[in-house]
Amino acid sequence: MGVARNDPCPCGSGRKYKQCCINRQQSMPSVPRPSMQQLLESAMRHFNAGHWREAEAACQQVLSVQPKQADALFVMGGIALKLGHYAEAEKWLGQAQRQTPQCPAALWHALAIAEHAQGKLDLAERHYREALLLDNSLHEAYLNVGTILQMHDQLEEAEDCYRRCLALAPDQADAHVNLGVALMQRHHMQSALHHLQEAIRLRPMYATAHRNLGLVYMGQGHLHEAEACFRQSLQLNADDSVSVSNLLFSLNYRDDLTPEEKLKEACLGGEALAAMAQQRGAPSFTAWKVSAAPERLRVGLLSGDYCQHPVAYFLESTLAHVDRSSLELIAYDTFPKDDAVSRRLKPMFSSWVSLHDMSDAQAAQRLYQDGLHILIDLSGHTAHNRLPLLTCRPAPLQIAWLGYFATTGLPGLDYILVDEHVVPPAEAVQFSEQCIWMPDTYRCFTPPDVAVDVNQLPSGSGHPVTFGCFNNLSKINERVVRVWSSILERLP
């Protein structure tokens, strides 16, 4: 079949045949056009070789004649996936799936990866499972389903997926890391240790494995080993802000370091976070678009703990007593999690902004554009923090409060809210921030809406006084045990 005058030119220029090569073709000997099958084979050959542009050109020739050709659509989606253009990949792969009555496992799997990368977790999980129904040897699909289940706190189900992945691919380092983290979250520390060490054996330069191994050691109270892991992670990945926070958090539990040494480490960590923000292209602000005499102060609260978490329980009662005529509160959520507590908190804010999928540069710009007078960080060096943002100074006044018990060492934080019980005035020198002492207490507890049966006190019926501790093992060192022993020895 010949090329019509108004058809796309076979040379791939994008122009019509009559406006491009018609005269040249008429003056040349006739050359057979490649068949659809030949073009598809060429596209696959180029795709497998990583020649994306050539693969795309071959697919476009096919689609210019057969716009619904499923194999060409599939390859186009695969190219977009390889280039990290996930929305575009989802579009092409979705079209391919709709043109394929019996969709192959590989297509379901590719579509799920594109959806997963965009945070469409429920859709991605469904399509991973469609792929596994057709081909239960797809170890990567088990790994990815496990990741989604773990994000939903379905840890036992996630663990099962990781073990299925490892049964098919024992050398899958990512699966060992994820399984190790899931086991750590379930407090199976020795098993977690085994899988994280195995991941490092398989990939010695795997920074994330070293970081999570440090968390396991910290959970076991092996603080020197934890420090070594976090420092190793930072050597392998200089942009690992999570390891900076993990390191500083763990050093607070050490009784062999002086307060001065801990402050010095915190300040070095703060400088490292500021350098990371700059390297990531985040802006630095020195002037702000805010009124000097506003009717209401715009106050942003930055946290990843707007859920069933101690921070939220301490925050809720405070927010209930805020004077809305003088303060406008905006929540910046760094780790969205929908539960009963988050649903109670949302009406207490004038707006609720998720920063979870924003880069540091995007998030810093958003905070700045919102015209905040005060930005309050509720995380410190705890999980889901976005401390690098604060080094950009998106608000003229920045305060630490509630979520962290020590100094952040961050150059962009001006003040920290404390009380004389947690920070006696003589200990203010241990903070890079300026301490503001609140009267009585710096936090107000909101009792959880859970009925708890309270037993009678054992000491009320002649038994000795019972002591308990709700802290994790990392905080119980030899010095703590000596103090407890001293107290117990003085009991009658």
Nearest CA among 163, 198, 117, 392 for reference residue 278? 392
Token code pair at residue 240: 């690992």
Nearest CA among 411, 404, 409, 414 for reference residue 430? 409
From first to last of its 492 residues, the chain has per-residue pLDDT tens of: 456 677 776 665 667 767 776 665 454 444 456 788 999 999 999 999 999 999 999 999 999 999 999 999 999 999 999 999 999 999 999 999 999 889 999 999 999 999 999 989 999 999 999 999 999 999 999 999 999 999 999 999 999 999 999 999 999 999 999 999 999 999 999 999 999 999 999 999 999 999 999 999 999 989 999 999 999 999 999 999 999 999 999 999 998 999 999 999 999 999 999 999 999 999 999 999 888 888 999 999 999 999 989 999 999 989 999 999 999 999 999 998 889 999 999 999 999 999 998 999 999 999 999 999 999 999 999 999 999 999 999 999 999 999 999 999 999 999 999 999 999 999 999 999 999 999 999 998 887 777 888 888 888 888 888 888 888 777 888 888 999 999 999 887
pLDDT at 137: 97
CATH, range 297-437? 3.40.50.11380
Radius of gyration of the chain (CA): 29
Sequence letter at residue 15: R
Query: What angle, rounded to 10 degrees, do the helices at 173-185 and 139-151 form?
Result: 30
3-state secondary structure at position 11: coil
Whole-number Å distance between alpha carbons of 330 and 135 = 47
Annotate 168-194 with b (16+ C-beta within 10 A) or e (fewer).
Answer: ebeebbbbbbbbbbbbbbeebbebbbb
* Range 36-246 classified under CATH 1.25.40.10: yes
Q: Which long-range contacts (CB under 8 A, 24 or more apart) does 233-240 make?
A: 233/207, 233/208, 234/207, 234/272, 236/205, 236/206, 236/207, 236/210, 237/207, 238/276, 239/276, 239/279, 239/280, 240/207, 240/211
Domain ranges of the chain: 36-246, 297-437
Nearest CA among 318, 325, 323, 327 for reference residue 298? 327
Please state the separation of Cα 77 from the chain's center in Å.
Answer: 26
Would you say the C-alpha torsion 350, 355, 357, 359 has a positive or negative sign? Answer: positive
Annotate 220-234 with b (16+ C-beta within 10 A) or e (fewer).
Answer: bebbeebbebbebbb
Q: Is 312 within 8 Å of 318 (Cβ atoms)?
A: no
pLDDT at 264: 98
